[in-house]
Chains A and B, each alone.
Chain A
Amino acid sequence: MTKTFKELKRARLTDALLKSTLYGLSLGAFATGATMLTLKLLLITVNPMLYIPIGLGGFAIAFLVSLLVLLRTSARLAKELDKKYSLRESVQTMLEFDGKDGDMLLLQREHTEELLLALPKRPSAVKRYLIPAASLILSVALFLVGVLMPVNIDEPQPEPELPFVLTEWQIGAMEALIEEVSYAKLEESVKVELITRLETLLEHLRTVHYFKEMDEAVITAIVDIDLFVEEINTYKKVSLSLFGSTEYAPKKIAVSIITLNGVGFGEMISPIRETFGDTMYFVEIADFAEDVTERLAASGVAEGEPLRAAIESFAGSLSLIAENSELEFNEAQAEIDKAFITASDAIGSEMSAQYSNLTVRTRIIEQLIDIFMINEDDIPPLLCDMVPLLELDEDDKDGEGGKEDSGGYGEGNNLFGSDDTIYDTLFREDGAGYVKYGEVFQEYYLKVEELLLNGNLSEETKKLLIDYFRTLSDGSKK
């Protein structure tokens, strides 16, 4: 291969690379500019990052295609030179016999070198790069037009915020509500907390200027009050804990407590009393007391909490009766009756207190909704409204614990009976496996409640969980 031919080839390669780059940039800029312009004209807004792959794609396509077209192999270049400059196949012959010996071949090479040296000078760089440079300039111009063209989108103007001024009536209603709470039959500490929250809300509302802010403040207060009551009321945890028992008596107590009706508690547990009046009562009483104590200990409710303490006290008194072997039957019956009466009073009293908390909380929320005309749909699901549905099959009373209608979690045809099995991976001590749903429902519920109270969950997730457990309870939105 002659020196001149090598130089020509190198020059062609450089030319091809430069031109391909220019064409690549042209198409990249053109594609980006055209897309931008079109989208702006169509009033379509896209992520600006989208233009990067468009530009790069355009560059890559044009660069590769141009390179493919402009790049010359030695053979192709030789053919092109022969044809363009009528070199009578001298260059092709030179290339074909490159490296081969022979006097005539040497002469042929020298002759070809002379021919190549005599070729007309290449056009100036300006002439050679005129077209790609012009295309680049035009493409960049289009790109700049695309970038600089203002977007004529009539964006919907935000609705002007409605100004809010706390009215005298609202102030009066709030003060009346605070006063009502102050007279409510609540524990003093609970009362103080609730009043503080309402006063804080009222003070804050005095500084609010728009309805939207007012809405947010009131709804925040509602959620806060609901959360506070949910934290102080332990009846759900206690009920679920006891309902996890496989025995009838603890379940019966759980169902009684979950109704949160202190008045009817005694009636609800009276069948238990009847059970203990029959045979083997010492053993059953002892087992009952032990079961209840263990379950309460595992309920997550603090030791000494009044409701837990009342039930533990009931269990303790029964346990004492069972241990006292000196008691005659009649004496034992009398002791048991006495324990039941005491328990009914103590537990009923605590349930009544928690019921009051709940009632006052509901009253406050309803009043706040009325006073400030809050749209109930804007209020997120409230925790206190989530009450598990605990149903007891009276057949359990004889201890057989039939699967059907043996209590469950849910409504309608979807009964998650306590004997139904699920594959549990969280709470089994011996690892994952099938367990009765009733045995782990409580743990699930408590875990979810803990997450709702303390976990960093999104509003969407919270709503999903609450809706799920609501479906398992009474299905209504209170």
Chain B
Amino acid sequence: MENKERVAAFSAAVEKIKSELKKDVVGQTDIIDNVIIAIVAGGNVLLEGVPGVGKTRLVRSLGRVLSLPFSRIQFTPDLMPSDITGANVIEKDDNGKLSTVFRRGPIFANLVLADEINRATPKTQSAMLEVMQEHKVTVANESYALEEPFFVLATENPIEQDGTYPLPEAQMDRFMFKLIMKFPEVDELSAIVNMTQITMDETAEAVVDGATILEMRALASTVPVIPEIMNYTMRLVANTHPERDASTASAHKYLKYGASPRAAQALITAAKVRALLTGNYNVSYEDIDALAPAVLRHRIKLNYNASNDRLGADDVIALIIKETRAQR
């Protein structure tokens, strides 16, 4: 297939995914776009939103659309790591002989929905670290590779804090994006209610498979990035570090700590996908700026000044983008 056709197939696949998702999810266009970007880029997504905005529905629909093995893990405080990864169990075969067999946990799927991930204990949460980063599970010194493509789409509820365990920074860093699902507008809400009066089931159909996703990822990786944009991205990430003298004023004023190098990797990788998604064949400043909040908001830590000035992570990121642009 020629590259032009590959790009056309890329665009067609994205459009199909979008149109199928829209059958089950009302509104949330930006969230859908960013989830698609993360999946094509091979990144995990943390979805945050109040209950009922369709986080789980979105992920379930996505599992259907992508025609990939899908599993859902409801995180609870008593959830054990082996409940996620699987465990060695003793089994008796037909001859009555006992043997140890690894019983795979729900993580062995292409698309994993980690629902309310912050309800599990840190011990269980940490079981996700290796999986999310290295796409493998190690049990009793035995490693089991996960099938590609592999994505974790986690959700968390920002309101209920009782009995929750905030995700450690290291795990947060494993999520390419943290997406905030806003409460729907009135007309969207109306559409949701009307839709669910007919059926609660997801109606989206499978339109792409895992191989297509991998093909799309390979194509996106070839999108060129000029040194100026690469440099801008690195400066943007570096400027989130308040301990750096060269960082911008907003970083010094409002941040406690900044984003890790994974943020820069994530920005460039995701920007390449976004470029193709928006009909461009190269990464632009616009791509970087558009993705920066999703990539950085869970990787930075605001200090007291930010809350004092009633600024959220997105506000501070917007300030840093503005200041970094001014440095150009």
Against A, the Cβ 8 Å flags (1 = close, 0 = not) of B104-135 are 00000000000000000000000000000000
Report yes or no: B283 in contact with A89, Cβ–Cβ below 8 A: yes
Task: Tell me whether B284 is interfacial, beta carbon within 8 Å.
Answer: yes
Q: Is the CB of B281 within 8 A of A92?
A: no
> Is the beta-carbon distance between B282 and A108 smaller than 8 angstroms?
yes
The answer to whether A89 and B281 touch (CB under 8 A), given A104-B3, A107-B7, is no
Q: Bound state CA distance, A205 and B226, in angstroms?
A: 99
A109 nearest CB across to chain B (Å): 9
Instruction: Output the least CB separation between B215 and chain A (Å).
Output: 13
Residue-wise, chain B 189-224 has the 8 Å CB interface mask toward A (1 for contact) of 000000000000000000000000000000100111
Chain A residues with Cβ below 8 Å from B281 are 90, 93, 104, 107-108, 111-112
Q: A88-B284, A90-B280 are in contact. Are A103 and B3 (CB under 8 A)?
A: yes
Chain A residues whose CB sits within 8 angstroms of the CB of B79 once the complex forms: none
B224 touches A105 (CB 8 A): yes
Return the contact of A96 from the options B3, B222, B227 (Cβ within 8 A).
B227
Q: Does B97 contact A (CB under 8 A)?
A: no
User: With a CB–CB cut-off of 8 A, which chain B residues contact A108?
Assistant: 223-224, 281-282
Would you give the 0/1 interface string for B129-164, flagging 1 where the beta carbon is closer than 8 Å to chain A?
000000000000000000000000000000000000
Q: Is A97 an interface residue (CB 8 A)?
A: yes
Q: What residues of chain A lie closer than 8 Å to B286, measured between beta carbons?
A: 88
Per the CB 8 Å criterion, the residue count for chain B at the interface is: 22
Query: Which A residue's beta carbon lies closest to that of B2?
Result: A103
Measured between beta carbons, the chain B residues less than 8 angstroms from A99 are none
Q: Is A106 an interface residue (CB 8 A)?
A: yes
Contact with B along A368-406 (1 / 0, CB 8 A): 000000000000000000000000000000000000000
Contact A106 B280 (CB under 8 A): no
B229 at interface by CB-CB < 8 Å: yes
List B contacts of A89 (CB < 8 A): 226, 228-229, 282-285
The answer to the question of B310 belonging to the interface, with a C-beta cut-off of 8 Å to chain A, is no
Task: Please state if A93 and B224 are interface contacts (CB–CB under 8 Å).
Answer: yes
Q: What is the number of contacts between chain A and chain B, taking CB atoms within 8 Å?
A: 56
Let me know if A158 is at the binding interface, CB within 8 A.
no
Residue numbers in B under 8 Å from A93 (CB-CB): 224-226, 281-283
Return chain B residues, CB-CB under 8 Å to A455. Answer: none
Q: A92 to nearest B CB, angstroms?
A: 5
The answer on a CB contact under 8 Å between A104 and B285 is: no
The CA of A401 and the CA of B292, in the complex, are separated in Å by 113
Q: What's the nearest-Cβ distance from chain A to residue B225, in Å?
A: 8
For B260-287 the 0/1 string (1 means CB < 8 A from A) is: 0000000000000001000011111111
Return chain B residues, CB-CB under 8 Å to A123.
Answer: none
How far in angstroms is the closest Cβ of chain A from B5?
A: 11
B275 proximity list for chain A (CB < 8 A) = 88
Q: Contacts A88-B282, A90-B281 given; indicate if A107 touches B3 (C-beta within 8 A).
A: yes
**A104-B3, A107-B7 as given contacts; A92 in contact with B226, CB under 8 Å:** yes
In the bound complex, CA of A74 to CA of B287 (Å): 24
A106 contacts B3, C-beta separation under 8 Å: yes
Give the residues in chain A near B225, CB-CB below 8 Å: 93
A103 contact from B222, B227, B284, Cβ within 8 A: B222
Tell whether, in the assembled complex, residue A96 and residue B224 are in contact, meaning their CB atoms are under 8 Å apart: yes
Task: Pick from B3, B4, B282: contact of A90, CB below 8 A.
Answer: B282
A160 interface contact, C-beta 8 A? no
1/0 per position for B225-258, CB-CB distance to A under 8 A? 1111100000000000000000000000000000
Using A88-B280, A105-B224, A107-B3 as known contacts, list a sample of 6 further A-B pairs with CB atoms less than 8 Å apart, ordered by residue number in A. Answer: A89-B285, A90-B280, A102-B222, A104-B219, A104-B223, A111-B281
List 21 A–B pairs whose Cβ atoms lie within 8 Å, in order of A's numbering. Answer: A88-B287, A89-B282, A89-B285, A90-B281, A90-B282, A90-B284, A92-B228, A93-B281, A93-B283, A102-B224, A103-B2, A103-B3, A103-B222, A104-B3, A104-B222, A106-B3, A107-B4, A107-B7, A108-B281, A111-B281, A112-B281
> Which residues of A pack against B, CB within 8 Å?
88-90, 92-94, 96-97, 102-108, 111-112
CB within 8 Å of A: which residues of B? 2-4, 7, 219, 222-229, 275, 280-287
List the 8 closest pairs (A to B, CB-CB), nearest first: A103-B3, A88-B284, A93-B282, A108-B281, A104-B222, A89-B284, A96-B226, A111-B281
